[in-house]
């Protein structure tokens, strides 16, 4: 993989389209052989909670569960803000398989290494 893209997601299930589009962009980039990291922050961390993405289907898009599964199958990294999770009362055991808790230093490292950063 030659290029790296970071996608930062701050929208949760209450904004289904804004929660879905980042995963559409991520899987499109993966199909172009880019290495993609998605960082969930703010309400975006709720998307990593087990069972949440199964209920998100934005009009005109594939279901979020299918997009997230594809993203992870294509070796995408799903990073989740630890302070954001804690402030919402979500425990590590509540998170879906394939997600990884991180802190600010990792966000900075990932974005500095990327050719491009998208934010939703």
- Please count the structural domains in the chain: 1
Average pLDDT over residues 81-100: 97
CATH code at position 67: 3.40.1260.10
Give the SS3 label for residue 1: coil
Summarised one tens digit per residue, pLDDT across range 40-61 is: 999 999 999 999 999 999 999 9
For residues 104, 107, 109 and 114, what is the CA-based torsion angle, rounded to 10 degrees? -160
Residue-range definition of the domain harbouring residue 102: 4-119
pLDDT at 1 over 60: no
Non-local (6+) Cβ contacts of 101 within 8 A are: 79, 80, 81, 82, 85, 92, 95
Residue 40's closest CA among 94, 86, 73, 85?
85
Average pLDDT over residues 66-86: 98
Instruction: Indicate the pLDDT class of residue 2, thresholds 50, 70 and 90.
Output: confident
């Amino acid at each position: 993989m030659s290029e790296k893209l970071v996608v930062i997601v701050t929208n949760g299930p209450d904004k289904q389209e804004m929660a879905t589009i980042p995963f559409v962009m991520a899987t499109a980039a993966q199909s172009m052989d880019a290495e993609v990291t998605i960082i969930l922050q703010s309400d975006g961390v709720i998307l990593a909670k087990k069972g949440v993405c199964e209920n998100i289907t934005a009009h005109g898009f594939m279901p979020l569960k299918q997009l997230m599964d594809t993203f992870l199958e294509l070796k995408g990294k799903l990073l989740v803000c630890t302070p954001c999770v804690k402030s919402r009362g979500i425990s590590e055991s509540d998170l879906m398989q394939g997600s990884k808790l991180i802190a600010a230093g990792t966000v900075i490292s990932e974005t500095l290494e990327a050719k491009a950063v998208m934010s939703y």
